[in-house]
Amino acid sequence: MAKEGSEWVKYMTKRVATYMDLPSDERKARRQAARVKREPWLSRWFGIAPLGIRLWWSRRKGKRSG
């Protein structure tokens, strides 16, 4: 158990050190790329259901006005 803990600490230390060695503009670029790549929070939390409800609601509104 202690060996796994020390390995984890070494791993995290290495990750933090490499992150801190990067220039700040490259860190910002990586964060921005990760934000763009991430899907919207609504679908990430609730799946495809919000899309279905949104489509149903828009069709419902279209039928009422037409």
Report the alpha-carbon distance of residue 26 to residue 32 in Å, rounded. Answer: 10
One digit per residue, the tens of pLDDT, for the chain of length 66 reads: 568 889 999 999 999 999 999 999 999 999 999 988 888 887 788 888 888 888 999 988 777 765
Rounded to two decimals, what is the model's pTM? Answer: 0.45
| Percentages (nearest 5) of helix, strand, coil residues in the chain | 85, 0, 15
Identify residue 64 by its one-letter amino acid code: R
